Amino acid sequence: MSSVFRIILQRIALGVLTLFIVSIVIFTAVNMLPGDFAQAILGQAATPEAIAAIRQDLGLDQPPVSRYFTWLAGAVQGDLGSSFAQANFASFVGAESGGTEVTVATQIAPRFANTMFLAGVTACIAVPFSIFLGVLAALYRNSAFDKAANVFTLSSISSPEFFLAYVLILFLAVLNPVLPSLSNIYDGMGFGERLQKTLLPALTLTLVVTAHMMRMTRAAIINLLASPYIEMARLKGISPLRVIVKHALPNALAPIINVVALNLAYLITGVVVVEVVFVYPGIGQLFVDGVKNRDIPLVQACCLIFAAAYILLNLTADIMSLLSNPRLRHPK
């Protein structure tokens, strides 16, 4: 067990190091974006003194290295900074009325909860559906069902997300008004109504992620069907479906867990396009608004959350695969 624990600690340390490197890339990339926030606020007629005052108030006059470590130290403690756009409204426009700054964490918290709800609904639909399709495709491989499932999933994953979204809107919201086309979720909404307004973007994401999980489940099970213990189970007269579900599927969990975790990470980090199409109030929509407003702390925080979620889910998949496969516990 000590060797397993040591490998897990190595994976965690590698994940932390990766997140640190990604934070450097995020800070550098965001600060290399064209345009100046202070200039954008005041317009072309702004005086150099006014621009310098705003840059000093927001800390943009500090060296990049100093700003990075200040931001990183705050992020480690849970302080993601204050929104530039909200600071502009409260501090400069309404200074006389005593406006206060709005923290980035305050803006992100409800949006992130909405994105997690969307990802959870999608996962509840996509994961069982994908594994079910994968098991059936392996059971009836090379049949008409197997070929149809492959064509359907490959077509869905090859199509742009916005195209799938508009197709679903056309068929499920316009021609057949079953679901609302806009996901205008607000605080205090009941669970049933929230679920109804989330179903259309969740179905769009399901079409995107189903192919990976279905094909990995199918491939992993087919690879195990030639194993001696599977042949022994067949010789005992066990039905093909029970052979796959009871004997093959548990031993194919490692690759399936990996691909499921990767797609769950995508459900959190890749929802930007879907949230924009459906006007879903999640972190992806907030990220787009932050880019449009040149809100540097907000954009950096969203990118860092995306990276942390992706790394955490990949790390979780790696550890679960390690624990589910004894051969991975003792690498050569």
Give the model confidence (pLDDT) of 306-315 as tens digits.
Answer: 999 888 888 8
Indicate if the pLDDT at residue 183 is higher than 90: no
Task: At 149, list the tokens.
Answer: 């499932």
Indicate if the pLDDT at residue 97 is higher than 50: no
98 pLDDT band (50/70/90 cuts)? very low
Residues 6+ apart with CB under 8 A from 116: 268
> Which comes out higher in pLDDT, residue 106 or 254?
106
List, for residues 212-243, the tens digit of each pLDDT value: 888 888 888 888 877 788 778 777 878 877 87
Q: d(Cα 213, Cα 204) in Å, to the nearest integer? A: 15
Name the nearest CA neighbour of 265 among 302, 311, 304: 311
Class of domain 104-292: mainly alpha
SS3 82: strand
Residue 76 DSSP label: H
Q: How far is CA 203 from CA 120, 122, 156, 227, in A?
A: 12, 7, 11, 36
Name the nearest CA neighbour of 206 among 120, 147, 113: 120
| Single pTM value for the model | 0.82
Q: d(Cα 267, Cα 252) in Å, to the nearest integer? A: 23
Query: In this structure, is the dihedral angle defined by the CA atoms of residues 6, 11, 17 and 20, taken in order, positive or negative?
Result: negative
Q: Would you say 166 and 204 are in contact if contact means Cβ atoms under 8 Å apart?
A: no
Strand partners, 82: 103
State the pLDDT at residue 177: 87
Q: d(Cα 39, Cα 29) in Å, to the nearest integer? A: 19
> Which comes out higher in pLDDT, residue 56 or 307?
307
Query: 182: left (phi > 0), else alpha (psi -120 to 50), else beta?
Result: beta
Amino acid at 162: F
Task: Return the axis-axis angle of helices 191-224 and 161-169, rounded to nearest 10°.
Answer: 130
Residues 6+ apart with CB under 8 A from 8: 319, 322
Query: Which ranges of 160-190 does DSSP label H, i.e. alpha helix?
Result: 161-169
Indicate if the pLDDT at residue 189 is higher than 70: yes
